Amino acid sequence: MDAKEMAKKQAGEASFRFIENGMTIGLGSGSTVYWMIRKLGEHVCDGLNVAGIPSSRQTEAWAKEFGVPLTDFSQTQTLDLAIDGADEADQSWNLTKGGGGALVREKIIAAAAEQFVVIVDESKLVDQLGAFPLPVEVLPFGWEVTAERIANLGAKPVVRQNNGSLFTSDNGNYILDCDFGTIHEPAALHQQLKQLVGVVETGIFAGMADKLLVGHPDGVDIRD
Ligand code: 5RP
């Protein structure tokens, strides 16, 4: 395992300390979350009683593989905890998310959680967001018009592709990866984008994180 993967494992596994018996947990997406789900599965095998709501089909598959019981929002509308990764985290813990294309469900889950724990390897820490192009989920109908409107806000949007076809999210939408350069005011940019017809959600998670766990190859910093 390389150093970056070790750092993801450290952060993912360390998040287990926030999980208590009886909790309903939002399960984020991505390779750091993988380590959290794997660890959670081990404890479920030992008798821990929890239920998870997955934020993507991939996360659902991992939860089933590791024996983590699942539920959905028809059963409960509040979560005790959500744990998720990020593509960037700035010094105020504003996040860019959506590198894996699961940003809408991830945000619904984070917003429904009493506590939102973010797990990242140290490479994700930045002074200001923006080096990672901002993922914006848009409706397929008229996406070209929506992309033009986003470009008018100062971005260079690129529609995400997967093996030569347009990438579709678990919600059946497209993702525009939008290079805005340095994002000086993440919350304000999010609000501007949300006002554009055709925009479903943005990958800016501003002021949502309650705890930030930063993994290193040999340990983890817990910031709260
Ligand atoms: C998916 C996400 C992920 O949390 C983000 O891409 C980080 O992934 P990884 O832990 O694999 O680096 O937002 O939509």
Task: Check whether 224 has a pLDDT greater than 90.
Answer: no
Tokens matching residue 222: 């817990």
Ligand-binding site membership of 99 (annotated) = yes
Give the DSSP H or E segment for 38: helix 31-45
Residue nearest (by alpha carbon) to ligand 1 atom 5:
86
User: Counting beta carbons within 10 angstroms of the beta carbon of residue 30, is it exposed (0 to 12), middle (13 to 18) or buried (19 or more)?
Assistant: buried
Tokens matching residue 33: 């979350």
Tokens matching residue 185: 């005011």
d(CA 105, CA 109): 6
Q: How far is the CA of 106 from the centre of ligand 1 (A)?
A: 10
pLDDT > 90 fraction of the chain, expressed in percent and rounded: 99
Catalytically active residues, by annotation? 106
Give the DSSP H or E segment for 26: strand 24-27
Residue nearest (by alpha carbon) to ligand 1 atom 1:
100
Q: What average pLDDT does the structure give for the chain? A: 97
Q: How far is the CA of 84 from the centre of ligand 1 (A)?
A: 8
Quote the Cα angle for 93-87-34, to 5°. Answer: 105
What pTM did the predictor assign? 0.97
Confidence of residue 122 (pLDDT cuts 50, 70, 90): very high
Q: How far is the CA of 49 from the centre of ligand 1 (A)?
A: 26
Structure confidence by residue, pLDDT tens digits, 182-219 = 999 999 999 999 999 999 999 999 999 999 999 999 99
**What pLDDT score does 193 carry?**
98
- β 165-166/204-205 pair status: unpaired
Structure confidence by residue, pLDDT tens digits, 29-74 = 999 999 999 999 999 999 999 999 999 999 999 999 999 999 999 9
d(CA 148, CA 13): 42
d(CA 68, CA 110): 19
Ligand 1: does its nearest atom lie under 6 Å from the Cβ of 56? no
Closest to 216 measured CA to CA, from 9, 53, 1 = 9
Give the DSSP H or E segment for 44: helix 31-45
The DSSP string of 78-100 is -BSEEEE--SEE-TT--EE--TT
Ligand-binding site membership of 86 (annotated) = yes
Structure confidence by residue, pLDDT tens digits, 155-166 = 999 999 999 999
**What pLDDT score does 172 carry?**
97
Give the DSSP H or E segment for 159: strand 156-159
Residue nearest (by alpha carbon) to ligand 1 atom 2:
98
